[in-house]
A and B are shown apart, each in its own frame.
Chain A
């Protein structure tokens, strides 16, 4: 089993995964965003029938041949292209490089640890409403959440003093913030917050009362194999108030479970 880890330059989780796999004698290689950006050669070819072949030669001489990748664990979300000094050129280059990378990942679909989605590289994946819709559809409880452009709709939410950027997180809950002296988001007040990490629909620690079946359903709906659920205790029951689709700070136990999942052929 060969594992290719594609990650941002400072992704601690990716380095831990790489280290663990090597320790377990798995043939793993780690390739950073910087190395991909400055590769000596990108050759991404698509035939008229849609067959894709990518060969990337890195500056250190390593070759990434898409046809020879067994498992790819991708953590890269964007390409900042900082070597373009002009901001307009940099923005254009970032769009182009990201578009190329998106196509490269699509070509790896069958070997990617997590399935590819159109929102893969966009802000849309952090859509709290979609997360809530999926959670409720899967039978998981969610914290109350309210958005309004008119404070009259929620007279019980008090006005807060603005911060300089026009926003201020309220102490009443992590999803409450004040925009332009108008409350636009509010949620239940809660104190007891925990996070649980999911790998392949399995909860790595305590379930906090959430059903395993519902978590599995939720994982399928959001098409993720590795993520964190953020829970808060409200009325003596844990409910979801957020999801982190790209966990970074996880325990060594989670790293181990994740690595076992990545390197197990039947899982990929």
Chain B
């Protein structure tokens, strides 16, 4: 039996639920929005652990789940919990919902069960340059990067690397922008907070989803620097299935292993010289967007992986 955690109408979780049904893999859904209606027990008695979830009147021993898919959104933003919004469930139920979700996250980090992905391991994405140092160990190149709060250092770097882009250092989502003359007036603020600059590369985006030891590569054709926001700029994005060289597939699998992320979305970039760079590894990929546009059955691979559990290792 597998456990799927998140909001069932959200596309990645929705596809996983449908795939489990199609493959007859028994699945329990932990709907974050109904967490206040569930119960949970975690305990250590005489040095032995026991944990169970009670969902819709049924009790599930946590150790009996072969695998868990974690697609949780920050519970502070759930309409049931955020006060003064339409679905607010009141203080008492909101506290219960928060408590159960907090403890579930802590259990996920400590359990020996197969988790895709453990919240603790997802933290590598909280610092992109930290994560890229690990990615580089897998053999993938990373874009030359400078993080500075000093304009003179930036100018010197710009002289050797010509065109630069800038983006957030942390997991806070930012739109990747070209560092052009438009931003010159804002650079005086650089002294207050260091910013991440990277050499702008020429080539094409490839998203690779790793699911256990399987990979699904998608080429992304877009005219804008950050294809996630192409619609904002009135441009189209075309997604097609891509075959990657064996050594790149191997490097992607190694990145997934080094980061301990059995499910991940790797943002690759291929230059005209056939060099592969990695921008980052997304620990909670919205794979549904790629599956729906290319027909790659990532969801089925995921639920099969969870059903095999620790036998994958």
> Chain A: residues with CB nearer than 8 A to chain B?
39-50, 52, 81, 83-84, 92-93, 95-100, 102-103, 106-107, 118-119, 121-122, 124, 127-130, 132-133, 136, 141-150, 153, 166, 179-180, 182, 184
A85 to chain B, nearest CB (A): 11
Instruction: Check B96–A180 contact: CB distance below 8 A.
Output: yes
Q: Are B109 and A107 in contact (CB under 8 A)?
A: no
Question: By the criterion CB–CB under 8 Å, are A39 and B41 in contact?
Answer: no
Q: How far is the CA of A49 from the CA of B172 in the complex (A)?
A: 25
A-B contact pairs, 21 of them (CB 8 A): A42-B148, A44-B129, A45-B147, A46-B132, A46-B142, A50-B137, A95-B170, A96-B169, A98-B170, A99-B129, A106-B133, A119-B120, A124-B106, A129-B42, A130-B106, A133-B110, A144-B43, A148-B42, A149-B99, A153-B41, A166-B91
Once the chains bind, are A100 and B169 in contact (CB under 8 Å)?
yes
Min CB gap A262→B, angstroms: 24
Smallest Cβ distance from B83 to chain A, in angstroms?
14
A95-B170, A127-B109 as given contacts; A42 in contact with B149, CB under 8 Å: yes
A149–B36 CA distance with the chains assembled, in angstroms: 9
Question: Is B247 at the interface (CB under 8 A from chain A)?
Answer: no
Chain A residues, Cβ within 8 Å of B195: 96
Q: Is B26 an interface residue (CB 8 A)?
A: no
A102 x B130 contact (CB < 8 A): yes
The answer to whether B123 touches A122 (Cβ under 8 A) is: yes
Complex Cα gap A40–B41 (Å)? 51
Q: How far is the CB of B254 from chain A (nearest CB, A)?
A: 13
Task: State the total of A-B contacts with C-beta under 8 angstroms.
Answer: 188
Which residue on chain B has the smallest CB distance to residue A153? B41
Cβ contacts under 8 Å, B149 to chain A? 39, 41-42
On whether the beta carbons of A130 and B109 are closer than 8 Å, the reply is yes
In the complex, the answer to whether B135 meets A184 with C-beta atoms within 8 Å is: no
| B interface residues (Cβ-Cβ under 8 A, vs A) | 38-49, 54, 91-92, 95-96, 99-100, 103, 106-107, 109-111, 119-121, 123-124, 126-130, 132-137, 141-150, 152-153, 157, 168-172, 192-195, 277
Q: How far is the CB of B181 from chain A (nearest CB, A)?
A: 23
Known: A136-B47, A149-B38. 9 other contacts (CB 8 A): A44-B147, A92-B172, A102-B127, A118-B121, A121-B126, A136-B49, A141-B47, A147-B40, A179-B95
Known contacts A41-B149, A92-B172, A100 near B120 by CB under 8 Å: no
- Which residues on A sit within 8 Å (CB–CB) of B120? 118-119, 122, 124
In contact, B169 and A129 (Cβ under 8 angstroms): no
B150 and A184 contacting across the interface, CB-CB below 8 Å: no
Q: What CA separation (Å) do A224 and B106 show in the bound complex?
A: 19
Q: Is the CB of A142 within 8 A of B147?
A: no
Given contacts A95-B170, A99-B130, A103-B130, contact A149 B39 (CB under 8 A): yes
User: How far is the CB of B51 from the nearest CB of chain A, in Å?
Assistant: 9
Is there an interface contact between A129 and B143, defined as CB atoms closer than 8 Å?
Answer: no
Which residues in A have their C-beta under 8 angstroms from that of B169?
96, 99-100, 103
- The residue in chain A whose Cβ has the minimal distance to the Cβ of B94 is A180
With A46-B142, A50-B136 as known contacts, state yes or no: A119 contacts B123, CB within 8 Å: yes
Partner pick for B144 among A41, A48, A122, A148, CB 8 A cutoff: A48
The minimal Cβ–Cβ distance linking B189 to chain A, given in whole angstroms, is 11
With A95-B170, A103-B169, A106-B133: A129-B110 Cβ-Cβ less than 8 Å: yes
- Interchain CB contact (< 8 A) of A150 among B54, B106, B172: B54
- Across the two chains, which residue of chain A brings its CB closest to B128? A99
Inter-chain contacts of A100 with B (CB < 8 A): 127, 129, 147, 169, 194
**Bound Cα distance A147, B143 (Å):** 46
Complex interface: chain B residues within 8 A of A96 (CB):
168-170, 172, 193-195
A142 x B47 contact (CB < 8 A): yes
CB atoms of B168 and A102 under 8 A apart: no
CB-defined contacts of A129 to chain B, threshold 8 Å: 42, 49, 106-107, 109-110
Tell me how far the C-beta of B195 lies from the nearest C-beta in chain A, rounded to whole angstroms.
Answer: 8
**How many angstroms from the CA of A40 to the CA of B109 in the assembled complex?**
39
| Chain A hits for B48, CB < 8 A | 136
- Are B135 and A50 interface neighbours, CB within 8 A? yes
Determine if B44 and A42 form an interchain contact, defined as CB atoms under 8 angstroms apart: no
The 8 closest A-B pairs by CB, nearest first: A50-B136, A103-B129, A99-B170, A99-B127, A130-B110, A41-B150, A102-B127, A95-B170
Is B150 a contact of A43 with CB atoms below 8 Å?
yes
Q: Are B110 and A144 in contact (CB under 8 A)?
A: no
Residues of chain A lying within 8 A (CB to CB) of residue B142: 46, 48-50
Most chain B C-beta atoms within 10 Å of own C-beta, residue among A42, A129, A130: A129
Contact of B39 among A48, A121, A132, A148 (CB under 8 A): A148
- Shortest distance between the CB of B80 and any CB in chain A (Å): 15
List B contacts of A179 (CB < 8 A): 95-96, 99
